Amino acid sequence: MAGFSMRPCGDFRTTYRQDTRIFDTTVVRNAAVLGVIAVALIPFVLDGYYVNLFIQISYFAIAALGLNILVGFTGQISLGHAAFFGFGAFASAWINNTTGIPVLLSIPLAGLMTAAVGLLFGLPAARIKGLYLAIATLAAQFILEDFFARAEWFTGGSYGAAANPINVFGYEIYDDFSFFYVCLFFLVVMYLLGTNLMRTRDGRAFVAVRDHYLSAEIMGINLTKYRLMSFAVSSFYAGVGGAMYGHYLGFVSAEGFTILLSIQFLGMIIIGGLGSVKGTLMGTVFMVLLPEVMESGVSALSVFDWASSTDVTDGLAYIKEMAIGLAIILFLIFEPDGLAHRWQQIRAYWKLYPFSY
Amino acid sequence: MNFELLFQLLLNGLIVGTLYGVVAMCFVLIYKSTQIVNFAQGEFLLIGAWVCYAFLVEMHMPFWMGFLFTLLFMMAFGVILQMVVLRPMIGEPIISVIMVTIGLSIFFQAATKWIFGATTATYPQVFETRSLNVLGMQIETAYIMSFVISLFIMAGFYWFFKYSKLGLAMRATAFDQQVAQSLGISVKTVFAMSWAISALVSGVAGIVIGMVNGVSSALSVIGIKVFPAVILGGLDSIVGAVVGGVIIGLLENTAEFVDGQYLHWGNLFSIAPFYVLIIILCIKPYGLFGTKDIERV
């Protein structure tokens, strides 16, 4: 929700209902609807490369929103989000392969399964917080990774699991073009759910737990319940995102869900802005585009001799990783509130121009 | 039951455990004096080992010279890191501090892979005899050396914090920053020095492990293994770090023995410490020697 400076003169909120609206003003709401429509037109205008990028952004953005609910809104820390993401991918493939439940249904079911697992690993959160919780979730990451490699009945072990393409009313979705709309649908639904959650009693309880857990407890908020609930919701999102990832690739292998991916998820929400739904989306776009930009940057630099040497071209994978680490560090030092805050400032600048006081 | 193998593994565990203990000590040192959880501890080992490798192999220095230059480099590295990256983070929420060190860890891991390559490199042979016979068992000389160096470092730490002026200043700062400052201790210097010492000692540990196993990015795994050790020992206790390190080292090798002889699950070696970690966090989060002032929530 934008600050008061962003609202037109004389437009005061007189009811709680107005205060908790998803979109602050009609203009913002129209802009959001137009934005979704514009994104829906992407496959007709741009080529497959961009469609693929959008699909990546959408499943990562769903998982990142879950992490933001946990970290940004509830103030817990999780270093094991990629493991939950991976669990969702395996769970959906497993449900679909063993029971024959259609993929479109198995995706939310996988989310629920992942939520149960998240609840289990969130149990330490009932007793510990901060740093200790971070280390506990780090252990969860390694234990789940080990489980993926070991549980052959569930994940196919080191061979990985095959995931069927999505089937909507007998129409099989196996190309990027149609999968794009499935992604868009899930993205919009999950983000609306996320924003709505924050308007409810439970969402406010999350924020209260984050801001001051003692006061929250005195006000009658059950800390254990909301901490665990936050873990469950976060894992649900991770599971849904992971399931979409699995069905998009058609194949899930245990190697993809390392600690590096967990860190990338954390990077997305930090770069986007902790505790901001809009920021999560921005951060994900940033994180997905960063390696692509690095790649085109390196190839653009290759007109120079030093940059076209094999040292640079072979090291591209490492350059991308370094860029991720560097981006996280630089954002934390120079813009700890993330892109959402920067966006707010830019908007305020133009809105108040030239009298910004 | 194969007693000989068990004994051999336990001995390995003890030696590796003391190394874990040394790294855990460095970790606790940073945590205690600056309240920063250093997820990049493993990368310190990595950088120390690679830099020493570069001095020895690429520049053909004699061992003692390369070693000394590495120590100097690591010290400067620690100070610069603290000044440039960690100083702005003072007073930020814990998630930011954790993420900054994680960012550093990714950055340096990728950077060392890029500069030195992803393959394992071996140091030139330092000792003539590859292994010695101790109590009827063959032990590599490098292992014995690593054990001796670890004990030496621990003794050094003990002396430093007990008798040297800077060490006492660091303990005072860890106890209460404001009081230390009002007594004329430069908290800035103490922060920088704790990073320098931690980087330096980690670098030495990295070189030692590099001599035994070769240098590769696998070294940074030690930085993760440190977490079970420090949590077991207590996050703010240097003695606890050593004890925790040794226990984790022994536990790992016992797990390997049980796994190899009876269970045949595979991979229990690397995953067992994390199960222990979760259990400790659930029943005794402050560890064996840590301060019990954790808030119950």
Q: What is the pLDDT of residues A265-313, one digit of tens each?
A: 999 999 999 988 889 999 999 999 998 888 888 888 777 766 666 667 7
Which of A130, A274, A326 is closest, CB to CB, to B107?
A326
Q: Are residues A267 and A197 in the same domain?
A: no
Residue B197 is encoded by which pair of tokens? 């010492």
Task: Round to whole Å and give the CA distance between A259 and A256.
Answer: 9
Residue B158 is encoded by which pair of tokens? 């003990």
Q: Are residues A139 and A219 in the same domain?
A: yes
- Strands B137-140 and B131-134, by their bridges, are antiparallel
Distance in Å, alpha carbon of B68 to nearest chain A alpha carbon? 29
Determine whether B105 is exposed, middle or buried from the number of CB atoms within 10 Å of its CB (0-12, 13-18, 19+): buried
How high is the pLDDT of residue A62? 94
Residue B24 is encoded by which pair of tokens? 């855990």
How many residue contacts between A and B have a Cβ separation below 8 Å? Answer: 129
Secondary structure element (H or E) that encloses residue A179, with its range: helix A176-199
How high is the pLDDT of residue B297? 46
Residue type, A73: F
Task: Round to whole Å and give the CA distance between A104 and A92.
Answer: 10
Q: Chain B contacts of A150, Cβ < 8 Å?
A: 265-267
Average pLDDT, chain B: 85
Q: Are residues A182 and A225 in the same domain?
A: yes
Tell me the C-alpha to C-alpha distance, in Å, between residue A28 and each of A1, A2, A31, A275, A347: 11, 10, 5, 19, 12
Which of A256, A271, A297 lies at the terminal end of a domain, its last residue? A256
**A4, pLDDT greater than 60:** no
Start-to-end Cα distance in chain B:
45
Q: What is the pLDDT of residues A316-357, one digit of tens each?
A: 888 888 999 999 999 998 888 889 888 888 888 887 777 765
Q: Which domain holds residue A239?
A: 21-256
Rg (chain A; Cα; Å): 21
Rounded percentage of chain A residues whose pLDDT exceeds 70: 93
Q: Are residues A105 and A250 in the same domain?
A: yes
Task: Name which residue leads in pLDDT, A126 or A144.
Answer: A144
Q: What is the pLDDT of residues A159-175, one digit of tens each?
A: 778 887 777 766 777 77
Residue B276 is encoded by which pair of tokens? 């222990």
Q: What is the pLDDT of residues A216-247, one digit of tens each?
A: 989 999 988 999 999 999 999 999 999 999 98
Q: Are residues A173 and A30 in the same domain?
A: yes
How high is the pLDDT of residue A206? 92
Which of A256, A273, A293 lies at the terminal end of a domain, its last residue? A256
Q: Three-class SS of residue A294?
A: helix
Q: Are B287 and B231 in contact (CB under 8 A)?
A: yes
Q: Name the nearest CA neighbour of A81 among A240, A286, A247, A257.
A: A257
Q: Are residues A213 and A353 in the same domain?
A: no
Q: Chain B contacts of A274, Cβ < 8 Å?
A: 95
Neighbouring CB atoms inside 10 A of B296's CB total 7
Task: Round to whole Å and give the CA distance between A347 and A345.
Answer: 5
* Contacts for B237 with CB less than 8 Å, ≥ 6 apart: B28, B287, B288, B289, B290, B291
Which of B94, B96, B296 is closest, CB to CB, to A131?
B94
Extract the residue ranges of chain B whose pLDDT is less than 50.
297
Are B235 and A71 inside 8 Å of each other by CB?
no
Distance in Å, alpha carbon of A116 to nearest chain B alpha carbon? 18
Specify the residue for token string 């873990």.
Answer: A231
Task: Print burial letters for B37-55: b (CB count within 10 Å at least 16), e (below 16).
Answer: bbbbbbbbbbbbbbbbbbb
Q: Three-class SS of residue B155?
A: helix
Q: Are residues A202 and A131 in the same domain?
A: yes
Residue A172 is encoded by which pair of tokens? 């099989």
Q: Are B106 and A263 in contact (CB under 8 A)?
A: yes
SS (H, E, C) A227-265: HHHHHHHHHHHHHHHHHHHHHHHCEECHHHCCHHHHHHH
Distance in Å, alpha carbon of A88 to nearest chain B alpha carbon? 22
Distance in Å, alpha carbon of B275 to nearest chain A alpha carbon? 7
How high is the pLDDT of residue B127? 63
Q: Are residues A164 and A275 in the same domain?
A: no
Q: What is the pLDDT of residues A120-131, one digit of tens each?
A: 888 877 777 778
Which of A241, A256, A271 lies at the terminal end of a domain, its last residue? A256
How high is the pLDDT of residue A236? 95
pLDDT grade for A68, boundaries at 50, 70 and 90:
very high
Residue B62 is encoded by which pair of tokens? 């004699």
Which of B37, B89, B92 is closest, CB to CB, to A131?
B37
Quick one: closest CA in A to B100, which residue? A329
Q: Chain B contacts of A321, Cβ < 8 Å?
A: 106-107, 109-110
Domain ranges of chain B: 22-219
Task: Round to whole Å and give the CA distance between A206 and A297.
Answer: 41
Start-to-end Cα distance in chain A:
20
SS (H, E, C) B258-282: HHHHHHCCCCHHHHHHHHHHHHHHH
Task: Round to whole Å and give the CA distance between B144 and A50.
Answer: 57
Which of B89, B94, B281 is closest, CB to CB, to A124?
B281
Phi, psi of B138 (to 5 degrees): -80, 120
Per the domain annotation, does A129 fall within a domain? Answer: yes
Average pLDDT, chain A: 86
Q: Chain A contacts of B277, Cβ < 8 Å?
A: 135-136, 139
Q: Are A63 and A85 in contact (CB under 8 A)?
A: yes
Quick one: closest CA in B to A263, which residue? B102
Task: Round to whole Å and give the CA distance between A79 and B105.
Answer: 14
Name beta bridge partners: B137.
B134
Q: Are A277 and A68 in contact (CB under 8 A)?
A: yes
Per the domain annotation, does A9 fall within a domain? Answer: no
Q: Chain B contacts of A326, Cβ < 8 Å?
A: 103, 107
Q: Are residues A34 and A179 in the same domain?
A: yes
Quick one: closest CA in A to B93, which residue? A130
Task: Round to whole Å and give the CA distance between A97 and A99.
Answer: 6
Quick one: closest CA in A to B276, which residue? A139
pLDDT grade for A2, boundaries at 50, 70 and 90:
very low
Distance in Å, alpha carbon of A290 to nearest chain B alpha carbon? 15
Q: Three-class SS of residue A339?
A: helix
Q: Chain A contacts of B278, Cβ < 8 Å?
A: 124, 136, 139-140, 143
How high is the pLDDT of residue A114? 94
**A263, pLDDT greater than 70:** yes
Q: Are A158 and A271 in contact (CB under 8 A)?
A: no
Tally of structural domains, chain A: 2
Are A143 and B274 inside 8 Å of each other by CB?
yes
pTM of the model: 0.89
Q: Are residues A237 and A268 in the same domain?
A: no
Q: Write down how long chain B is.
A: 297
Distance in Å, alpha carbon of B195 to nearest chain A alpha carbon? 18
Are B106 and A266 inside 8 Å of each other by CB?
no
How high is the pLDDT of residue A5? 52
Are B98 and A131 inside 8 Å of each other by CB?
yes
Q: Are residues A201 and A107 in the same domain?
A: yes
Interface test mutation site (partner A, options B81, B278, B286, max chain A beta carbons within 10 A)? B278
Q: Are residues A54 and A137 in the same domain?
A: yes
